[in-house]
């Protein structure tokens, strides 16, 4: 029986193997944030001579990349990337995701938007029939925290401030439990339209293109329905 750490390692290695054919000396890779992304960074760094560098979604990932000798680029200096690789807190069969357990949801969404392909790396425990068991992170401008929380209650949620946490953007996170996410695209749009919200952790309007899901029987490749 593989441990969860071993499952994460297998997913990360599968992502490295998946993107190796894309690597060239002029290629920049998009890299996410989190425990599985950390393992991907470690594997990717072993091939650092084969690509130009990376753009990351957090200061944490940037520091890890730099420490391993991978050149980190500012996204403003990058026009396109062939791939963005990141984990998820939950993912459904349509490859809609909840992300942001590590608090990097806004930068994750931005970096992913510049990449041609989003590859999600997860272990099988993250696959759900319906999103919402994991509280939905919502990044908010601090002065709007209470106003946004009231609107999230009206949507059926139970928002709780993530105490003592500040995002890399200088904002705060409300973790919202109790949401019935039957239509993730519509809920993502509704929450993102609340004044004071930077973004929410639903990645449904633009979900993953491919998920590499590590199971006890190996790594499965899931593709978004078209």
Q: Is the same domain home to 67 and 161? A: no
Q: Quick one: pLDDT band at residue 126, thresholds 50, 70, 90?
A: very high
To the question of whether residue 130 is assigned a binding role by annotation, the answer is no
Q: Is the same domain home to 47 and 108? A: yes
Q: Is the same domain home to 29 and 98? A: yes
Question: What pLDDT digit, counting tens, does each position of 54-102 carry?
Answer: 999 999 999 999 999 999 999 999 999 999 999 999 999 999 999 999 9
Q: Is the same domain home to 38 and 95? A: yes
pTM: 0.95
The CATH number covering residue 13 comes to 3.40.50.1360
Q: Can you tell me the mean pLDDT for 182-207?
A: 97
Q: Is the same domain home to 93 and 24? A: yes
The CATH number covering residue 144 comes to 3.30.70.260
Residue 11 has a CB neighbour count (10 Å cut-off) of: 26
Q: Is the same domain home to 48 and 100? A: yes
Residue 108 known to be catalytic = yes
To the question of whether residue 102 is assigned a binding role by annotation, the answer is yes
Q: Is the same domain home to 9 and 101? A: yes
Q: Is the same domain home to 79 and 97? A: yes
To the question of whether residue 74 is assigned a binding role by annotation, the answer is no
- Structural domain span for residue 41: 4-128+205-223
To the question of whether residue 3 is assigned a binding role by annotation, the answer is no
Q: Is the same domain home to 79 and 24? A: yes
Q: Is the same domain home to 22 and 78? A: yes
CA distances from 185 to 44, 95, 146, 189, 204 (A): 32, 12, 24, 6, 5
Q: Is the same domain home to 147 and 184? A: yes
Q: Can you tell me the mean pLDDT for 109-138?
A: 97
The CA distance from 209 to 33, in Å, is: 18
Q: Is the same domain home to 42 and 109? A: yes
How many structural domains is the chain composed of? 2
To the question of whether residue 99 is assigned a binding role by annotation, the answer is yes
Residue of 90, 108, 151, 188 marked active site:
108
Q: Can you tell me the mean pLDDT for 185-191?
A: 97
């Amino acid at each position: 029986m593989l441990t969860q750490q071993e499952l994460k390692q297998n997913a990360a290695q599968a992502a490295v193997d998946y993107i190796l054919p894309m690597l060239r000396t002029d290629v920049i890779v998009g890299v996410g944030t989190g425990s599985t992304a950390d393992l991907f960074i470690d594997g990717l760094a072993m091939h650092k001579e084969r690509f130009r560098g990376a753009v990351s979604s957090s200061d944490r990932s940037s520091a890890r990349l730099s420490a391993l000798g991978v050149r980190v680029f500012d996204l403003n200096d990058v026009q396109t990337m062939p791939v963005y690789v990141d984990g998820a807190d939950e993912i459904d069969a349509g490859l809609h995701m909840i992300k942001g357990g590590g608090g990097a949801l806004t930068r994750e969404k931005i970096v992913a938007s510049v990449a041609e392909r989003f590859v999600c790396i997860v272990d099988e425990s993250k696959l759900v029939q319906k999103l919402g068991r994991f509280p939905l992170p919502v990044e908010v401008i601090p002065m709007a925290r209470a106003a946004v929380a009231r609107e999230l209650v009206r949507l059926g949620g139970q928002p709780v401030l993530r105490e003592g946490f500040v995002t890399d953007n200088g904002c705060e996170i409300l973790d919202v439990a109790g949401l019935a996410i039957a239509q993730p695209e519509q809920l993502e749009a509704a929450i993102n339209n609340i004044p004071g919200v930077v973004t929410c952790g639903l990645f449904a309007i633009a979900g993953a293109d491919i998920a590499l899901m590590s199971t006890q029987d190996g790594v499965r490749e899931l593709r978004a329905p078209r």
